[in-house]
Amino acid sequence: MILKKDIHHPNDVMNKYFENVMPEKLKDYFKLPGKFISNFPTKIFRRDGSECEMDWLMLVEDGRGEFLIHAEFQSYAVDDEKIEIIADCTDYSKIYYGRPVLTVIIMTEGYGSSVKEFKRTSSDILKPIYICMSEEEVIERLNNLEEKILNHKKLTDDEALDIAFLPMFAPKNKAHDITEKVTRLFREDTSLTGAFRNDVAFGLSIMIRKYFDLTPKGKELLKMIEPELDASKLRDVIDFEVDYIKKSYEKELSEKDMVLAEKDTILAEKDTILAEKDKKIEELKAKLKVVEDD
């Protein structure tokens, strides 16, 4: 099954789903080079022996031959630790499969503050290609989607995938409005049919659950695309979200516990200092009493 217990973010679930059901369309959507041949296994062992799983590894070919594309989906800035992990994955893929590797990082936010390269030596430098979507591009694509659907024009594959991905790339302050608008447009569309339409609806349902949960608005939007969602897939989304929310709360509580523990340590240190001062004060009082008695 596509959904895994070790995936804890809605974006990961949607990306992993599309990688498996329509990898060629997804590759073309992100304008990645080459002709798609096949997906490759994503679990690897890093240099330190720890296990790691890449987001996506695919084999493609162009006029020069076959090569691998290692793609990572990021919902936050890439720091020094993350880019080192990505570099390890790229190195492993290059050595194990004996093919050149193109590294791509697809960002929903945090590009400006992301580390842009990783250097092991002067001749071993990873400079991944970053792919992101600006707010202006999101709005432009949304307007195009609206114009084509309301005028009953056939959507291209990329435009169809916009229905699922525009909510993911939407800026936080507009994500709810864009998700709702895309959902209402999807209900009006008549050009998408069959399994492709159902797959797009499934991706959209994940974004609805991401932003609206099972609020009245979330239920209303899910109801609009209910004909395209089979019960098992919708059940997976709901189960995933419950697990995701639970783990998010657990992480938040764990972080708060760490903060409280640090504060307790600081307070304990201050108590020790105060106790020492109290002791000195008592010693001074004792000396003062001796002087007064004399």
Q: Are residues 41 and 112 in the same domain?
A: yes
The pLDDT value recorded for residue 6 is 45
The pLDDT value recorded for residue 242 is 52
Question: Of the candidates 115, 132, 149, which is a domain's last residue?
Answer: 132
Answer whether residue 57 is part of any domain.
Answer: yes
Answer whether residue 277 is part of any domain.
Answer: no
Q: Are residues 94 and 153 in the same domain?
A: no
Q: Are residues 115 and 169 in the same domain?
A: no
Q: Are residues 140 and 29 in the same domain?
A: no
Rounded-to-integer distance, Cα 50 and Cα 159, Å: 40
- Tokens in use for 255? 């972080």
CA distances from 156 to 104, 108, 170, 253 (A): 24, 23, 20, 45
At 192, which amino acid appears?
Answer: L
Q: Are residues 145 and 188 in the same domain?
A: yes
Q: Are residues 82 and 148 in the same domain?
A: no
Answer whether residue 246 is part of any domain.
Answer: no
Q: Are residues 127 and 138 in the same domain?
A: no
Answer whether residue 272 is part of any domain.
Answer: no
Question: Of the candidates 229, 259, 285, which is a domain's last residue?
Answer: 229
Answer whether residue 263 is part of any domain.
Answer: no
Lookup result for tokens 């991706």: 203
The pLDDT value recorded for residue 4 is 39
In which domain, by residue range, is 222 found? Answer: 134-229
Q: Are residues 170 and 116 in the same domain?
A: no
Polymer length of the chain:
294
For residue 125, the domain's CATH number is 3.40.1350
At 37, which amino acid appears?
Answer: I
**Domains held by the chain: number:** 2
Q: Are residues 166 and 123 in the same domain?
A: no
pTM for the structure as a whole: 0.74
Q: Are residues 86 and 195 in the same domain?
A: no
The pLDDT value recorded for residue 247 is 57
Rounded-to-integer distance, Cα 184 and Cα 93, Å: 42
Rounded-to-integer distance, Cα 2 and Cα 16, Å: 7
Q: Are residues 4 and 125 in the same domain?
A: yes
The pLDDT value recorded for residue 27 is 97
Q: Are residues 168 and 208 in the same domain?
A: yes
Question: Of the candidates 197, 229, 261, which is a domain's last residue?
Answer: 229
Answer whether residue 292 is part of any domain.
Answer: no
Answer whether residue 239 is part of any domain.
Answer: no
Answer whether residue 115 is part of any domain.
Answer: yes
- pLDDT in tens for each of the 294 residues of the chain? 233 334 458 888 899 889 999 999 999 999 999 999 999 998 877 767 777 889 999 999 998 999 999 999 999 899 999 999 999 999 999 998 999 999 999 999 999 999 999 998 877 889 999 999 999 999 999 999 999 999 999 999 999 999 999 999 999 999 999 999 999 999 999 999 998 999 999 999 999 999 998 899 999 999 999 888 864 455 555 555 555 555 555 555 666 667 777 777 888 888 788 888 878 887 777 776 666 666
The pLDDT value recorded for residue 256 is 63
